[in-house]
Chain A
C-alpha cells in the first residue's frame, strides 16, 4: 500500500440486498473488519445500496468525508457497476476510483456456510480495498453508433424486428439462410388460440419486408464473420448462388414447368417431404422473394453436365445462370438482432413411437402441412398409405419433459396439440385422443381454448405413451396400438388408432454453437442463447449491441416471439438513437520509452490494433481498435505494455488482498 501517492481515503459499503446477501453474510462483521483496514475512512452496511437512499448515503459520505476511493460490495457488476460508477461521478469523484465486489452471485448465493461466506466477503472486500488504492482517474471515449441494424433470421421474429426498425427509419439488413423468409410460421396452418390463418397474418408482413425501402433482404444467404463491437460491427455475408439472376427473375415459374424432370422427384423441404419438388423450384407459392432456386444437388446439369437445359431455354428474360458464384457482401451495422429460431425435435429419437417405421406416425409439423390448404394434399387429410384416419392419437411431450431426450417444457406443444385436435376433427371428423403428462395452457385465452377443445369431444388421457405397435389382430384396419398408463384411473390402456401425431418439442438449431461463437454470445448447456438478465434484460446479450428475439433464446409461442422481437428492436433503437456509446477505458497502451521494439506483440492482437512505427522503432496501439483483451499486455516480454484498470500493481495488490488472510475472530484482539 505504501506505493500509492497521496492520501487515500476509501469508503466501503456492503449491501444486504434484502436477505439475499445479509441472509448468509454477516454484513456487520464485514463492516467491523473493513473499518480497521488501512485507508478505510468509512465502512457501512445498508439494506438496499442501489436504492435512492443508499446512493445518497454514499454520495453524502464522499462529499462530507472527502472520500477519494469507493468500494461497494453488492451484486454482480453486470447489474449495478454502472449504477455505482454514476454515484461516484455525481459526487464529483472520477468513476474509475471505484471497485465493485460481487458478494451475491459469487458468494451469498452459492454458499450455505454463513461463517465461511462471511470470511469470503471479507477477503474479497480487502482485495478490492487494496486494489482501489492504485486506481487512476480515467476518461471514457465516445464512439458514434452506426445506425444500420443486422437481423439474422427471417422467421416471424426477424420479420417483426426488421419492420419495427425500418418503420422507425433505420436501415435494416435481413439475412435469411433459406430461399424464402417466413420461417416455421409460414408452414403452419392456423394459429392458436384464435385459429386465424397463419399465412393470412404472415404473408402481408413478408411482402412488407420485401417492399420496404429501408430493408435490404438477402435470402439464401449466411453470415460468414462478425468483427468489431457495439456501434461498429463489420459483417461479411455470403449470398449462396441460386443460379437465378434475381433482378431478372419475375417468378413466372415457367422454368419449373420446363424442367427436364416432367414429374417432381425430390424431397420437398417446405412440405416436410410429404410431396416432391423438382431441382428448380419455389419453396411455396407465397415465398418471399418470389424467386425460384436451383438445387445443385439434384439438378442434372450440375451432376453430369449433360442436361438439355430446357429451363434456360424457356426463360425469356435470360434469368437463369448456371455458372453463378457465391457473392460476398461486407456491411457495417451498429447493432445486431439474432433471431435464428429453433429446430423441431427429431421424432426418430424416441424409437418406441415408431416414427419413420410406421408410415402413419406423423410429426406435428407434417400434420400442419397436411391440413394446410396450400399443402401437399390441399388440406385433405390423406395418409401416406392413401387412407383417411377415423381415430387419431396426439402424443404430447415428444422430446420434451423427458430426461432421456430434453428436460425442458417446449411451451407450445400443449396448445398446438389442442389446435391440431380441433383442425383434424374439423377435417376428418375422426375420434381424437390426446395423451398428455399435464395440460399446460397459460396465457390469455389459452385455458378457454382448452375447455373449448374438451367440449368439442376431444378425449384427453393423462399418461405418457409407452409404446406404439401395429395391431396384428385386425388385418382390415391395420391400426396402430397406442399403449399408455391412464394415470387418472391407474390402468394400462391400449387405444387402436389410424394415425399418430407426435407433438415434437423445440430444440436449439444444430449449429447454435457456431452462431454463438460467431456473435460472441453465450448459450446454456442445452444450446439456447442466454439473455443478459432473465428478468431485467431479456433480449440483451452479454455482448453489447447484440440482441435476441424468438425461439433461439428458448421455446415460445408466436405472440411472445413477436413481443420479444419488438423489444429487441426497441433496445436496438434506444442504442442507435443515443448516437454514441461510451467505451470502457480498459484499453492497452505501449509505454514508449520502455519499448525495445521487439515486435512480439504486433501479430498477437486479434483486432489488428498494434502497429510497428518504423520511424521510432516502437510499437503503437490504436486505442480505438483495442478491445482490452490483454493478450499483448501478458505477452510483452519487457513489460512495456500496460492496460488501464488492469495495471500490474492493481492486479498484484488485488492478489495480495485476497491472500492476506485474517481469521475474523482474531481481528478484534490484534487491532
Chain B
C-alpha cells in the first residue's frame, strides 16, 4: 500500500503514557491503520533511525512527537524528523509545554546528577561514577547522549506546526486530529487542536461553583475527602481547571479528582501557572500577612502545583543560580 500517507511517532523525555493513548483508540486504531502507514514508532515497531534517514525531505506527512527535549539524542532525532516531515505535531503536555520532566528546571543539571548518582537512598556508587558522553574500552569507542542543563519544549528546539495537549491527549482529540490531517484542510499553523475555552465550561460541577470562593484554607486530596457533587475548588482543593484548556471531557473531575492543568493554558495566556496563581491567591480571605501565610501553608509546593506541566514553556522556564 504505497499510496497511504506516512506517519511517524516518536518519544523523547516522556513516560510512555502518550504512546499508550494511541492504543486507547481501541477499535478506532483499525480505521487509522487503514488510512495511514506508520513508518516509524520505536515503542511498537522495529524501525531504526537509518530507516527514517532514507526518506526524502518532507516525504512523511506527519510526525507525532511526544516528550520534552532534554538530551542531545532527542535533539538529533527531532531535527531529523522535522527535516523529513511535512507537519510536526507536539503530542501531549511534555512536548507542548515541558510536562512533568520540566520540573527538573527547578534544579541545575549538576544537582540532579549528584542526587541520582550519589545522594539518592537507593544509589550505590562508591566510585561516584557519572554518565559520560564518550566511552572508550580497548579499541571500542562509543558516544552516548548527553543530558542538557535545561528541559525544553519541542517548539524551543524545532519548528512545530500543531499541538495536541494533555497528559496524555484524549483519544477523542487524537482521532479528530487524524481526521483533520487526512482531510487535507489544515488549520492555521500553531493551532492547538483542542477547544479554546477553560475546563469550567465543560465541568459537570460548574453550577455548584460559588461566585465568592474566599479561601480560608487549602486542602490536598490525599488528606481529605472530596465531596463528589460540589465544585472541587470551592472545597479548598487546588483545581487548575479555570486556567486549563478544556477538551479532556473533565475526566479527572468525573473521577472526583481536581484538574492538575495538563491541557495547558488557552491561546490567550502566556503563563498558565502565573494566571492560576494570581486568580486563586487573589481569592484568599486573609487580610494580614500572617493570616495569608497560614492559608498558603496549604500549598507546600507552589511550583509543582501551578507549573506541574508548564514549567519549560512558561515565562519562568528555568531556575537560574547566580
Q: Report which A residues bind B (CB closer than 8 A).
A: 594-600, 602-604, 612, 617, 631, 634-640, 648, 652
Contacts and interface: CB of A to CB of B under 8 A. Distances in A.
B77 interface: no
A528 B39 CA distance: 78
Contacts of A636: 275, 279
B272 to A, nearest CB: 8
Given A598-B242, A636-B279, A639-B266, 19 more contacts: A594-B196, A598-B209, A598-B241, A599-B210, A602-B211, A603-B214, A604-B282, A635-B279, A635-B282, A636-B275, A637-B242, A637-B269, A637-B275, A637-B276, A638-B197, A638-B242, A638-B265, A638-B269, A640-B266
Contacts of B246: 596
B200 interface: yes
Nearest to B243: A637
A272 to B, nearest CB: 39
13 contacts: A595-B197, A599-B209, A600-B213, A602-B211, A603-B283, A635-B275, A637-B198, A637-B275, A637-B278, A638-B197, A639-B275, A640-B268, A648-B268
A602 B213 CA distance: 10
B253 interface: no
B62 to A, nearest CB: 26
A597 B206 contact: yes
Q: Top 4 nearest A-B pairs by Cβ distance? A: A639-B268, A637-B243, A596-B198, A638-B198
Given A603-B213, A612-B211, A639-B266, A617 B206 contact: yes
A244 to B, nearest CB: 38
Contacts of A600: 213, 242, 279-280, 282-283
A528 B198 CA distance: 49
A596 B280 CA distance: 16
Nearest to B241: A598
Contacts of A637: 198, 242-243, 269, 275-276, 278-279
Most chain A beta-carbon contacts within 10 A, residue among B198, B278, B283:
B198
A596 B239 CA distance: 14
Contacts of A612: 211
Contacts of B198: 596, 598, 637-638, 640
Contact of A596 (B197, B211, B214): B197
B275 to A, nearest CB: 5
A617 B200 CA distance: 10
Nearest to B281: A635
Contacts of B212: 602-603
B260 to A, nearest CB: 14
B199 interface: yes
Interface of B: 196-201, 206, 209-214, 241-243, 246, 265-270, 275-276, 278-280, 282-283
Contact of A594 (B210, B268, B270, B276): B268
A595 B197 CA distance: 7
A631 B213 CA distance: 16
A602 B211 CA distance: 6
Contacts of B269: 637-639
A639 B265 contact: yes
B197 A599 contact: no
A638 B214 contact: no
A617 to B, nearest CB: 7
B200 A597 contact: yes
B211 A631 contact: no
Contacts of A598: 198, 200, 209, 241-242
A631 B283 CA distance: 12
Contacts of B197: 594-596, 638
Contacts of A604: 282-283
A104 B267 CA distance: 38
Most chain B beta-carbon contacts within 10 A, residue among A597, A636, A638:
A638
A613 B210 CA distance: 13
Contacts of A594: 196-197, 266, 268
B253 to A, nearest CB: 13
Nearest to B274: A634
Nearest to B214: A603
Contacts of B200: 596-598
Most chain A beta-carbon contacts within 10 A, residue among B212, B267, B275, B279:
B279
A652 B275 CA distance: 16
A652 B270 CA distance: 11
A638 B197 CA distance: 7
B115 to A, nearest CB: 34
A603 B211 contact: yes
B275 A599 contact: no
B211 A599 contact: yes
Contacts of B278: 634-635, 637
B283 A638 contact: no
A375 B266 CA distance: 75
A502 to B, nearest CB: 41
A73 to B, nearest CB: 29
A596 B243 CA distance: 10
A637 B275 CA distance: 5
Contacts of B283: 600, 603-604
A648 B266 CA distance: 14
A621 to B, nearest CB: 14
A366 B242 CA distance: 65
Given A594-B266, A603-B213, A638-B242, A631 B196 contact: no
Nearest to B210: A599
Nearest to B267: A639
A594 B200 CA distance: 11
Contacts of A597: 200-201, 206
Contacts of B279: 600, 635-637
A596 B275 contact: no
A398 B55 CA distance: 93
Contacts of B242: 596, 598, 600, 637-638
A489 B40 CA distance: 104
A602 B210 CA distance: 10
Contacts of B275: 635-639
Contacts of A631: 282
Nearest to A610: B211
Contacts of B209: 598-599
Contacts of B282: 600, 604, 631, 635
Contacts of B211: 599, 602-603, 612
Contacts of B201: 596-597
A398 B301 CA distance: 57
A67 B189 CA distance: 32
A640 B195 CA distance: 14
Nearest to A602: B211
Contact of A638 (B206, B213, B243, B280): B243
Nearest to B212: A603
A502 B280 CA distance: 57
A11 B214 CA distance: 49
A665 B230 CA distance: 63
Contacts of A648: 268, 270
Most chain A beta-carbon contacts within 10 A, residue among B214, B242, B276:
B242
Nearest to A612: B211
A318 to B, nearest CB: 45
Contacts of B210: 599
Contacts of B199: 596
Nearest to B245: A638
A597 B213 CA distance: 14
A658 B198 CA distance: 32
A631 B276 CA distance: 13
A593 to B, nearest CB: 8
A651 to B, nearest CB: 11
A644 to B, nearest CB: 16
Most chain A beta-carbon contacts within 10 A, residue among B210, B214, B241, B282:
B282
A594 B209 CA distance: 18
A127 to B, nearest CB: 18
Nearest to B276: A637
